[in-house]
Amino acid sequence: MNNATTADRRIAVVGAGIAGMAAALELHEAGYRVDLVEQLPVLGGRFGLDRLGGRPVMTGGKNLGRKYSALRGFLDRLGTPRYEPFGINTSRVVDGKLLTLDSTQTAWDKVSRLRRLGSVRDLLKLARLGLLVRRAEANRFLGAPAFAQVAAASDDRPLSEHFGSDIVRKMFRPMTVRMNGAEPDEVYLGTFGTNLSMIMDTYDQLTDGITPAVTALAERVSVRTSSRVERLITDGGRVTGLAISTDGGPVADCHYDAVVLATPAYATAELVKADLPELSETLQEVRYFPAAVVLVHYERPVFGTRVRAIVLDDGPCSNAGVYGINDLDIVRYTFSGRQARPVPTADVLAEWVDDAERRLFGLLGHERIGRKDTVTRIWDAAYCAYVPHHGAFLDRVRGQVTGVEGLELAGDYLRGAPLEACCRSGIEAAQRIRTA
Ligand SMILES: Cc1cc2nc3c(=O)[nH]c(=O)nc-3n(C[C@H](O)[C@H](O)[C@H](O)COP(=O)(O)OP(=O)(O)OC[C@H]3O[C@@H](n4cnc5c(N)ncnc54)[C@H](O)[C@@H]3O)c2cc1C
């Protein structure tokens, strides 16, 4: 595998989120000389590596499904990850009572709770889509032919127009706001398989966070942080390098034999604009929505083990939940969805947190609990919300990239927003380079 030709080839992977890190590891293991180029001083992208008090935390994606086989394989190759169960545990206020859905409940429990969320007709329609997702792994990801067919029949109208308002508000909104930052009238049935796959999985999180894996990767591949890629360099329809500015300094041309752009669609659109304007335009169609995440460490536990997260859907705070099953004193407030747009100023966000805390404490029956530490992260483009007829969009992207030698794409808009989907997109990009 590690022959002279491969070892002589320099590949740049742009973007050190999970898509880029997975591509970089795959290429490194195949024997290529890899540079992982990241504009920020830290790796991890939307894992959102940060610190709360003295402890490392993640303000971005952190819940890993048991079905995240590619991502778990990536982590296994970098060390011995320790997982702790997180589960799906979410409660919402229905008729004045907290209704809890938990991944440990029996199927019958789940069904009887689901019956309170929507009409039988809607639940049957939903079950049909659920069966598609269960039947074939491919249907958990964007680009699956079965969901392209669903899109062809239904993506002229958004998801909200295919179901009754009860199920849309009570069940779908938390799913689409959580995964896409989008309201049900901003997403489509043709991409709904990715949302359904989320609720058909059980979640863990990494006991030690993602930092050990990121550190192990940085010991294997060459990493260039604080290095912003400005544009591709091409020659005769072939990518020959990148124009990179490091630490805000002048832009320098760097030669590479091939490049993986593992950046969100809007960032990739900028990078290819000068040389591939048609591809750039296509990529600009993909929508992203913002989110703010605030982690508050309290003086004592706020949640118990039975109720660990509450969907709050009548204000900017979409969800308030424990940071981890063993961190009942850390609450993660997520502000996303239409009511959390545009992204707030620091003062507005502080008000939102005060208000969400008041409501949360009211629902859980707490008086005041003091705050010890807080960490805040505002993501202008937190979540990818895809496009209608996403399968056809992907065909266009593929058509526009094929024929540009030395260019591969990875990222959340290709296979889906979940970490597993992004990881797969990175691995697939690396495999295409290997077989090119
Ligand atoms: C708050 C939040 C919670 C989430 N929770 C979960 C969860 O629990 N489970 C789950 O499965 N998913 C979750 N997700 C989704 C998931 O985290 C993201 O979809 C995924 O991390 C995206 O990975 P990526 O590699 O495609 O992009 P990113 O992580 O965004 O990586 C792209 C990288 O490219 C860099 N970059 C961009 N432009 C340039 C440039 N010109 N030059 C150099 N570098 C550049 C960026 O700085 C960034 O580091 C969550 C997302 C958010 C925001």
Does the pLDDT of residue 38 top 50, yes or no?
A: yes
pLDDT of residue 6: 80
Report, in angstroms and rounded to the nearest whole number, the Rg of the chain calculated over CA atoms.
Answer: 22
- Say yes or no: CB of residue 181 within 6 Å of ligand 1: no
pLDDT of residue 1: 42
pLDDT of residue 89: 62
Mean per-residue pLDDT, 155-184 = 95
Q: How far apart are CA 356 and CA 320, in angstroms?
A: 8
Mean per-residue pLDDT, 18-47 = 98
pLDDT of residue 65: 96
| Nearest atom, ligand 1, residue 65 CA | 11
Q: How far apart are CA 203 and CA 66, in angstroms?
A: 6
Mean per-residue pLDDT, 249-277 = 96
Does the pLDDT of residue 218 top 60, yes or no?
A: yes
CB count within 10 Å of CB 58 equals: 24
**Closest residue (by CA) to atom 33 of ligand 1?**
15
Of 15-19, 38-42, 122-126, 429-433, least confident by mean pLDDT is 122-126
103 beta partners? none
pLDDT of residue 54: 87
CB count within 10 Å of CB 123 equals: 17
Does the pLDDT of residue 113 top 80, yes or no?
A: no
Q: How far apart are CA 13 and CA 21, in angstroms?
A: 8
Q: How far apart are CA 388 and CA 197, in angstroms?
A: 18
> Taking Cα atoms as reference points, which of 47, 37, 35, 33 lies closest to residue 16?
37
Q: How far apart are CA 436 and CA 429, in angstroms?
A: 11
| Nearest atom, ligand 1, residue 19 CA | 25
pLDDT of residue 105: 58
Mean per-residue pLDDT, 271-284 = 97
Identify whether the C-beta of residue 272 lies closer than 8 Å to the C-beta of residue 232: yes
Identify whether the C-beta of residue 117 lies closer than 8 Å to the C-beta of residue 170: yes
> Which one is predicted more confidently, 236 or 413?
413
293 CA distance to ligand 1 centroid (A)? Answer: 14
Tokens 């593929």 found at: 398
- Extract the runs of DSSP E, i.e. beta strands, from 263-351: 288-298, 309-311, 317-322, 330-336
DSSP string across 381-396: EEEE---TTHHHHHHH
| Nearest atom, ligand 1, residue 227 CA | 43
| Alpha-helical segments (H) within 273-418 | 277-283, 346-364, 390-401, 412-415
